[in-house]
Structure 1
């Protein structure tokens, strides 16, 4: 089935981490994989970030790179500030293919990263001719910076998060495929076949890597998108159910109620009421 729902933007964009951290808890903490790389430069505050099966604290002057297709979740414990860079899915850059969490201690490193981020932001917000092209040239310098610091920080502070075992590598491949196909009617067997393993093997790998079964991951991703669509669009509930691969609207409603605690229609009305109050 061809999915017929609004896509998230896939062009280069920057967001203040304070705004990202202000999102609903379910949006931040639900483990999911993006179709594009993400770079986080934290300048103030602290929290936790989960990348695959590992959860680590982050603090000021932490640089975190998350490749496309990498399962991750985010939790802010205090007021967090900094910049998030979403690269878009057609960036054409030579970026690391494994996650990085760099804890920078040297003031010159702080200044270097801040300058690179500022240059990108200036181009994106300046809207001058060929601004996006110029911004990607600046991001190319950031890619080189990441490559240079990957090896240097690995032995010093465990900066490399990517010593993935076989289960984690399979789960990462599954998460990436799921991110592309979650709106289809594919089931665990279909995904396992596409990945060249048995459904039992895939489920065991997912549980070992992120604490969820392969089926849990499908359901979590679909219901994440359902919540977003119920809040951000006026697409009928029946159409959301159909476009997210649920066999019937009643099955969608049961699954949604079981995980979220209320039916989809009630969830939408509740958020519509909140929106009216805030305006």
Structure 2
């Protein structure tokens, strides 16, 4: 019996490191690109955050990502290192001030919609970045809506240029943002019409994958093997427990059957007067004392 418990201990020793590995939190990332697309496909601000973990990060890695309370989450995905496509098969869940996700790839995408204030044709909003982990290379760009007559930022963008996709972008300098330090920008623009940019005939090709929850194109490409190992280990433990329980019951049943058989074989006859079991060599009943006739 002892070797069974030894086996369980060894199995748990193999499973627990995998479980703990998936819970390793990221304390710094290599790069984060923040794209703000106001009035793109909804009457709000689409925030696209594309992150890249350091090359020496142990995967899968867990990230606690900040999200404003007023935001509406749209997508949490990893960017597959084999084909560069976003895949929403990573584990995620809400935590105070944001959410937690675990990714098996170095790159990831987080998307959410941020509301803005409306005053006739004027739109204003604020974006603030604040995380408990540092970013070595932080870059922010604001996409000017197709139907915006003007757009201003505070602080002022260092570069305003029209890209080949037909949009004008207001870009800020790349900088490092330490943990606990915020980066904020106020955006103010005026719309000539309430039409959204995505509804226009503006050419595509922003270089950024279209927003929204992507579909996984490769079967098994996003399997989180440590989680699979934990689940499989749990199943194995349940199977072993059931097997041990069945084995003990079988042994108990066999013991009772053998004892009953031995008892039956030890009694060759019964008292004709009271029915008490008797051994074949008994001349008198041990219970009532009746002599055995014809013996």
TM-score above 0.5, yes or no: no
The structure with the largest strand share of the pair is 2
Q: What TM-score results when the alignment is normalised by the length of structure 1? A: 0.25
The structure with the largest helix share of the pair is 1
Q: What TM-score results when the alignment is normalised by the length of structure 2? A: 0.24
